[in-house]
């Protein structure tokens, strides 16, 4: 009986310690609110989106809600558009200190899955990836630019010449929603 009491008391103390440790911000949690991990702070918020028509795309409107999750270590994006067609997508972005770069993964309701690596440079956030199409290497990238507190521009681009020139396929203008 005494050993059971000692064992139970030890378990209770251990569980209490674990719970307390999970409630306190650790050094790694605090580091997610500092330095390069704050490079995406400009994007956090609720946004109204608009884009012009293009060769393979009609003009449209959408919304994007971006927040920091997991003790501010991950940036979560929730994109939605009903016009001209229903399109939903979500991305998760995280800074990887060992690489000195960001990584992002995107998935959507059309079966799309994309992964990127990127960084902030010259006042822009640029994420790139490589794709093979018909045996040819194509570079794709997303660029956040013209960043201001209440608006910014984002573009989806491709390069078929190894990144020497880029073609904008989908430009989106962001306007911050007023709460």
| H or E element in which residue 9 lies | helix 2-23
Token representation of residue 163: 């990144």
Token representation of residue 26: 């650790």
Tens digits of residue pLDDT in 68-125: 999 999 999 999 998 767 999 999 999 999 999 999 999 999 999 999 999 999 999 9
Tens digits of residue pLDDT in 154-170: 999 999 999 999 999 99
Higher-pLDDT residue of 14, 74: 74
Q: Taking residues 21-44, report their average pLDDT.
A: 72
Helices and strands in the chain, H and E counts: 2, 10
* CA-closest candidate to residue 124, choices 91, 102, 94, 97: 102
Q: For residue 31, what pLDDT is reported? A: 80
Q: Taking residues 32-47, report their average pLDDT.
A: 94
Q: For residue 85, what pLDDT is reported? A: 78
174 vs 111: CA distance, rounded Å: 24
Q: Record the pTM.
A: 0.80
Q: For residue 99, what pLDDT is reported? A: 95
DSSP per-residue codes, 127-154? EEEEEEETTEEEEEEEEEEEEETTEEEE
Answer yes or no: are the C-beta atoms of 64 and 78 closer than 8 Å: yes
Q: Checking DSSP bridges between strand 45-51 and strand 136-148, what pairing results, if any?
A: unpaired
Higher-pLDDT residue of 82, 174: 174
What mean pLDDT is reported for the chain? 85
- Most confident by average pLDDT, 19-28, 152-161, 170-179: 152-161
Q: For residue 19, what pLDDT is reported? A: 40
Token representation of residue 167: 């073609």
Backbone dihedral angles phi then psi of residue 34, each to the nearest 5 degrees:
-130, 160
* Partners of 61 in beta bridges: 50, 83
What DSSP designation does 86 have? Answer: -
Which pLDDT band holds residue 30 (cuts at 50, 70, 90)? low
Higher-pLDDT residue of 53, 126: 126
Q: For residue 82, what pLDDT is reported? A: 87
Q: Which fold has domain 36-176?
A: Lipocalin (2.40.128)
- Name the percent of the chain lying above pLDDT 90: 72
Q: pLDDT at residue 6 above 80? A: no
């Amino acid at each position: 009986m005494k050993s059971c009491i000692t064992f139970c008391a030890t378990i209770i103390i251990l569980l209490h310690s674990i719970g307390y440790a999970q409630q306190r911000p650790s050094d790694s949690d605090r580091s997610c609110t500092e330095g390069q991990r704050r490079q995406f702070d400009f994007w956090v918020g609720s946004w109204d989106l608009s884009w012009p028509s293009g060769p393979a795309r009609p003009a449209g409107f959408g919304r994007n809600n971006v927040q920091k999750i997991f003790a501010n270590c991950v940036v979560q994006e929730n994109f939605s558009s009903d016009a001209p067609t229903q399109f939903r997508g979500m991305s998760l972005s995280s800074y990887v200190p060992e690489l000195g770069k960001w990584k992002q993964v995107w998935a959507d309701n059309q079966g799309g899955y994309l992964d990127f690596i990127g960084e902030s440079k010259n006042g822009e956030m640029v994420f790139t990836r490589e794709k093979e199409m018909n045996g040819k290497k194509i570079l794709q990238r997303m660029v956040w630019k013209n960043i201001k507190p209440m608006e910014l521009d984002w573009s989806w681009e491709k390069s078929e010449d190894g990144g020497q020139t880029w073609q904008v396929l989908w430009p989106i203008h962001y306007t911050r929603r007023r709460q």
